[in-house]
């Protein structure tokens, strides 16, 4: 029996916002062939993840913000510690941005889901495990 996760733990583990048990994505983050595949409904509480047609389009705004943060952090740290040529700096920042695409994609959708889906935690699902 699994104890109930906090909302932040469930967010980090990419779990459903309603039951905090069911996985939102079908595969692991760095499975490059299917990192973006989202379950249609939660495997535990049957919450429909795409709340309305085009719901996840709004995740682009979160994705933009995450990418700006990655570019700023990697760019500033690289410049501060190594003072590279501008082309090397741009290459490093570009590589970091591309390497984090699965992470950015998934967590931008998670932010959209947790902030705007309207789904609230229902503790009746806390001890249920996902269906196969």
Q: Which residues bind Zn ion (CB under 5 A)?
A: 16, 18-19, 22, 42, 44-45, 47
Question: Residue 54, exposed/middle/buried by CB under 10 A (0-12, 13-18, 19+)?
Answer: exposed
Residue closer to Zn ion by CB (options 45, 111) is 45
Question: Residue 62, exposed/middle/buried by CB under 10 A (0-12, 13-18, 19+)?
Answer: middle
Min separation Cβ 19 and Zn ion, Å: 3
Min separation Cβ 79 and Zn ion, Å: 43
Classify residue 123 by its DSSP letter.
G
Joined tokens for residue 14: 């990419």
Joined tokens for residue 65: 């913000």
Min separation Cβ 113 and Zn ion, Å: 11
Residue closer to Zn ion by CB (options 18, 109) is 18
Residue closer to Zn ion by CB (options 51, 78) is 51
């Amino acid at each position: 029996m699994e104890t109930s996760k906090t909302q932040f733990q469930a967010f980090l583990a990419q779990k459903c916002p309603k039951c905090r048990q069911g996985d939102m994505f079908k595969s692991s983050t760095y499975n490059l062939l299917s990192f973006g595949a989202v379950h249609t409904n939660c495997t535990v509480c049957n919450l429909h993840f795409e709340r309305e047609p085009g719901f996840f389009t709004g995740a682009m705004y979160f994705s933009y913000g995450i990418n700006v943060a990655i570019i700023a952090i990697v760019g500033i740290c690289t410049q501060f510690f190594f003072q590279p040529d501008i082309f090397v700096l741009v290459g490093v920042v570009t590589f970091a941005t591309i390497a984090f695409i699965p992470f950015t994609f998934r967590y931008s959708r998670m932010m959209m889901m947790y902030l705007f889906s309207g789904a609230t935690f229902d503790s009746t699902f806390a001890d249920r495990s996902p269906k196969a």
